[in-house]
Structure 1
Amino acid sequence: MRSASVAWILALCLTALPKVAPAQSATWSDHFPRLAALAASGVPVSALVEDLDSGRPLAAVDAAQRLIPASVSKLFVARAALQYLGADHRFVTRLVATGELEKGQLRGDLIFSSGGDPSLSSKDLRAMVAELSALGITGIAGDLVVEDAVFGAIACEIKDRCDAHEESAHAFDGALSGAGIDYGTVEVVVHPARHAGQPARVVVMPPGVAGFPLHGRIETVAAGEPTRLGVTRSTDSEGLHHLHLSGRIALDHRPVRRSRSIVHPARHTAEVLYALLIQAGITVEGEARVTHKAAATEARQELTRHYGESLATQLHSMMQFSNNYMADLLTLHVAQLRTDRAPLSEAADLLLTPLTRARESSGDAAADTPILNSGSGLSVDSRLSARDLVDLLRSSYQAAALFPAFVGTLPVPLYSRNGQLKFDDGNWQTRLAAKTGWLSEPVGVRALAGYLRLRDGGWAAFAILVNGTPESPHLARQSTLSAIHADMRDLLAGSVPNSVQKGLSRGGGHGKRLVTRPNPR
């Protein structure tokens, strides 16, 4: 389904669109009545919808107010990555040898030479090991060396990631590494036992990897009983990961998969690769170790290489699943293309360059600049306004060679797995391409930004940010999302005051959609 939605987006991007300018209005917040009411009640709101052909606003609530953006900051990652790397860029991972191959024995070290691929997986490692077997390699006389030299050792700068060094019950807070796999996580699969009352069978993926002792148990209960289980990862003083299990799974329940972040991604890669080599019948006489320096290139023989998915495909996955690991690794890649190696907070600041340059070229340079301390949105010190986001979206729309790939990264509600986008409304489902964002601490954050198709076939950009406050940090999820949806629904349907009706509808048509359902036959 994903490829179909992207195809429709690209097709519509390349279609000449009519331009209809809306009339001016004195109070744009009138067109977002529910969000304006939230703001009037003391909830910080920054919202803006802008017709991209005329440059005029269609709705706004305190559009210049800068708030915590959460994951809508990933729009800056996608724009910068596409601009500096290109939609077809592929990261390359290599297995190289430092010695000669004699009668199936590698007389030297086997080196995993990382290219910093954000989406490299254990399945990719398995395929690379299979190629070694196909070359006739049966043993390695030296060490297995994971070369984590793309970014070197990456320090934790964000509280969530630093806290996760000791313990985590999540997947989003994993440590970063240019040599990591599976997004810096480990997957746990829980299978019900054959009979109620027995402990469930728990498998750590990929099977056969040491380093994850299991503690506690998950009980198998009668069919039809509720399934509630917990999986927490802790890390001891020696750096060993432990998995703590609790809860229960019903006898008739399908296997449950849980991903948990890890602390030493490069070391985990070394352990997985070592296990895969052994499973393939390739012995390793030395140890599995990690280095943060690139070894000398002379006397290195490439054995196999893996090309990652195209950047456009990776960005679509990053947006669809709001993958923090991918976003921050891509942020570091962008920084390396523009400057020397930089810590994440400085690297993230460079993501603002396309925005600041667009503003300078239009003579609309802001007196102050937004704050981005991570591309992922994990940093609660970042500050963006709806104006900042819409300006980025507008400059991307105006970049003819970049826009089709950029809008193609954004989920369309009809095909999205994101619950925040699931509203049963035809216009909402088919005429938006948007990124969501949410946080629960230190204050609640709800955010939505992207593109919509106007009823005359033109494009608009929009951004909505809603934050809690230190005095009232909690945001009621349903009421906040309902306010965002209802105001956007009315705007999409053209049910706004007559002052902007012309910009939303021409002759009462149904408007062009980003995606179209196939006709039943």
Structure 2
Amino acid sequence: MRSLVNACLLLSCLSLPAIGNDYFDNVLSIIKPPHSHTAIFATNLVTGDIIFEQNPDTLLLPASTMKLLTAVAATSSLGSGFRFSTRVYSRFPIKDGVIAGDVYISFSGDPTLKGKDLRSLLKQLTEQGLYRIEGSLYLIGQANEQLQAPGWVWDDLGICYAAPVSNFVLNRNCVHGKLSPKLASSQSELSVAGYVPINITNTAVFDKTGVEKFCQLDLQRLAGNHFSLSGCYPGSQAIKLAIAITDPGLFMQESIRQILKSSKIQLKGQILIKHQLPTQTHLIAAHESAPLSDLLGTMLIKSDNLIADSLLKQLGTKIYQRPGNFSNGSRALKKILSGEGIMLTHAKIVDGSGLSRYNLLSARQLSQVLNLIYTDPRFSQLMDSLPIAGVSGTLKYKASFNKPPLFKHVIAKTGSMQGVDNLAGFISSENQDDTLFVILENGQSSLQKKQQQAPFSALFLHYLMDNTLAQESQSGSALTPSSPAN
């Protein structure tokens, strides 16, 4: 079967008449993965006609196509000018270079906050003449935070794409390191920047000769941002590590302690965490993130989980006027989208990123979100933030999307995790009408994925473009027939 699919891709076989579902039924009989659950929905955006649908109402794991919902809901509710803010307050004015009391830094969960931003905040204070704080420095964050959504895979939690979502976010709550083999030994050496306030015990080894049958690294997450790295890694080349912290509050405390040491401000008291800003304080410095439009651009093009779930919590805060979490944020997202006409009655929404294995959406529901993006001017900027096949984001290097006919013509959000390979977006070509599509594939065989020459979504889109072009050519709606030869 695989050789037949390859031949079809190279020779554009399956020259079947363009007769709607019969054409695609024949196509799917050849290209549909035998072990996967699939759902497809495709619409001509000019005529409004459904080109093809199969299992459009079957609920499947959306993975990162969930971010389309988050982007629309955030734009609708928060507004394109929304920014995360980190603010410094005090009860006392700066007098003779001193604040005669406590200072408070209020964190809002800015997923883009970096160490340089905190240094910039302190610089704002020194520019006002501050050089000493007589009291303590309180970090204001949410009490009893829900750092991960239900349904996040436990063994993903030590990896940075599943970093904890908190009011306290610094450097993406992620620590980068490098694991290198030692010379003339199977032992390894772990290097992490000395200023990063975490502790990692390393007993990992390198299997340089490939003698170990079962060789894999194991990262144990311990309390207090302590980790234990063990097991083995096959090969002899150094590898990069990206480790998600476990305690964001402690990480922020220790990081600010180090930043203060290199600043011109002396702190007499301690650095403590508090869950509510006292009354009768006044603002003395502030840092703001980029506006929502920029955050959504990064979220969609890079499939950024931390931005998505930080925005989800903001939706919970905005709609229900209480500290945001995954529960009220998901409910808020569903309420906002229902108000926009998206039918989510049977959908299951647990987070904003799509990391949770509890999320469930149908191809039809995703198509409604895409249609809103395409038709409503409020959301049109989201189109510019979607990856373009072979050009940008998560579609830049995806197999079969970096060459014709898909190259540059597919604009879509990917959604991938183990066993899941989804795609939802648009076909835009000068030679045919704009087309909306959703292709969901769940239960993907890892062996089949390894052996396949092209993803199922790429194969289907190839034939979708061929068939649509043929129909429009026959009807004369898109292509002008060539003149007869003289």
TM-score range, shorter chain: 0.7 to 0.9
Q: Match of 1:490?
A: 463
**Take 1:274 and 1:29, find their aligned partners in 2: how far apart are those partners?**
67
Identity of aligned residues (%): 22
Pair 358,306 (structure 1): closer, same or farther in 2 beyond 3 Å: closer
Q: Match of 1:335?
A: 316
Q: Match of 2:53?
A: 60
CA drift of 1:177 comes to 0.8
Matched, 1:383 2:360: yes
Superposed, 1:215-364 pairs within 5 Å as 215-216=202-203, 232=219, 234-236=221-223, 239-242=224-227, 244=229, 257-296=240-279, 298=280, 300-341=281-322, 343-353=325-335, 355-359=337-341
Q: Match of 1:438?
A: 416
Superposed, 1:140-155 pairs within 5 Å as 140-149=133-142, 153-154=145-146
**Take 1:29 and 1:185, find their aligned partners in 2: how far apart are those partners?**
50
CA drift of 1:74 comes to 0.7
Superposed, 1:481-520 pairs within 5 Å as 481-493=454-466, 498=471, 502=475, 505-507=478-480
Q: Match of 2:427?
A: 452
Pair 140,421 (structure 1): closer, same or farther in 2 beyond 3 Å: farther
**Take 2:22 and 2:292, find their aligned partners in 1: how far apart are those partners?**
38
Q: Note if contact 1:45-1:466 (Cα within 8 Å) is conserved in structure 2.
A: yes
Q: Secondary structure at the match of 1:449?
A: strand
**Take 1:32 and 1:278, find their aligned partners in 2: how far apart are those partners?**
67
Which of 192, 206, 210 in structure 2 is aligned with 1:203?
192
Q: Note if contact 2:163-2:306 (Cα within 8 Å) is conserved in structure 1.
A: yes
Q: Note if contact 1:99-1:107 (Cα within 8 Å) is conserved in structure 2.
A: yes
**Take 2:400 and 2:272, find their aligned partners in 1: how far apart are those partners?**
46
Q: Match of 1:416?
A: 392
Taking structure 1 as the reference length, what is the TM-score of the superposition? 0.76
Stretch deviating more after TM superposition (241-250 or 134-143) = 241-250
Q: Secondary structure at the match of 1:306?
A: strand
Q: Note if contact 1:432-1:453 (Cα within 8 Å) is conserved in structure 2.
A: yes
Q: Match of 2:83?
A: 90
Pair 52,155 (structure 1): closer, same or farther in 2 beyond 3 Å: same
CA drift of 1:417 comes to 4.4
**Take 1:46 and 1:500, find their aligned partners in 2: how far apart are those partners?**
28
Which of 379, 384, 389 in structure 2 is aligned with 1:402?
379
Q: What amino acid maps onto 2:316 in structure 1?
A: A
Q: Note if contact 1:494-1:504 (Cα within 8 Å) is conserved in structure 2.
A: no
CA drift of 1:386 comes to 1.1
Q: Note if contact 1:52-1:459 (Cα within 8 Å) is conserved in structure 2.
A: yes
**Take 2:285 and 2:198, find their aligned partners in 1: how far apart are those partners?**
27
Q: Note if contact 2:399-2:454 (Cα within 8 Å) is conserved in structure 1.
A: no
**Take 2:168 and 2:241, find their aligned partners in 1: how far apart are those partners?**
22
CA drift of 1:56 comes to 0.9
Q: Note if contact 1:53-1:459 (Cα within 8 Å) is conserved in structure 2.
A: yes
Structure 1: 5+ residue stretches without partners: 1-23, 222-227, 510-521
Structure 2: 5+ residue stretches without partners: 1-16, 209-214
**Take 1:323 and 1:90, find their aligned partners in 2: how far apart are those partners?**
17
**Take 1:504 and 1:324, find their aligned partners in 2: how far apart are those partners?**
41
CA drift of 1:324 comes to 1.8
Q: Deviations over 1:462-519 (max 9, x none)?
A: 11101118xx78762563952211221233355776489659942389xxxxxxxxxx
Q: Match of 1:15?
A: none
Matched, 1:186 2:161: no
**Take 2:256 and 2:222, find their aligned partners in 1: how far apart are those partners?**
21
Taking structure 2 as the reference length, what is the TM-score of the superposition? 0.81
Superposed, 1:35-74 pairs within 5 Å as 35=28, 37=30, 41=34, 43-74=36-67
**Take 1:268 and 1:289, find their aligned partners in 2: how far apart are those partners?**
12
**Take 1:183 and 1:79, find their aligned partners in 2: how far apart are those partners?**
23
Q: Note if contact 1:94-1:306 (Cα within 8 Å) is conserved in structure 2.
A: yes
**Take 2:124 and 2:181, find their aligned partners in 1: how far apart are those partners?**
35
Q: Secondary structure at the match of 1:465?
A: strand
**Take 2:163 and 2:33, find their aligned partners in 1: how far apart are those partners?**
38
Q: Note if contact 2:179-2:188 (Cα within 8 Å) is conserved in structure 1.
A: no
Q: Note if contact 2:197-2:251 (Cα within 8 Å) is conserved in structure 1.
A: no
Q: Note if contact 1:468-1:474 (Cα within 8 Å) is conserved in structure 2.
A: no
Q: CA RMSD in A?
A: 3.7
Pair 504,390 (structure 1): closer, same or farther in 2 beyond 3 Å: farther
Pair 310,77 (structure 1): closer, same or farther in 2 beyond 3 Å: same
**Take 2:420 and 2:93, find their aligned partners in 1: how far apart are those partners?**
57
Q: Deviations over 1:393-437 (max 9, x none)?
A: 11222212321x111221112332434366331442312221111
Q: Note if contact 2:109-2:165 (Cα within 8 Å) is conserved in structure 1.
A: no
**Take 1:263 and 1:357, find their aligned partners in 2: how far apart are those partners?**
36
**Take 1:257 and 1:141, find their aligned partners in 2: how far apart are those partners?**
42
Q: What amino acid maps onto 2:409 in structure 1?
A: R
Q: Match of 1:512?
A: none
Q: Deviations over 1:303-359 (max 9, x none)?
A: 321121121211121122322222111112122222243641342133234543454
Pair 104,209 (structure 1): closer, same or farther in 2 beyond 3 Å: farther
* Count of equivalent residues: 457
Q: Note if contact 1:235-1:241 (Cα within 8 Å) is conserved in structure 2.
A: yes
**Take 1:317 and 1:256, find their aligned partners in 2: how far apart are those partners?**
26
Stretch deviating more after TM superposition (78-87 or 448-457) = 448-457
Q: Note if contact 2:423-2:440 (Cα within 8 Å) is conserved in structure 1.
A: yes
Q: Note if contact 2:88-2:104 (Cα within 8 Å) is conserved in structure 1.
A: yes
**Take 2:269 and 2:124, find their aligned partners in 1: how far apart are those partners?**
21
**Take 2:88 and 2:449, find their aligned partners in 1: how far apart are those partners?**
50
Q: What amino acid maps onto 1:398 in structure 2?
A: T
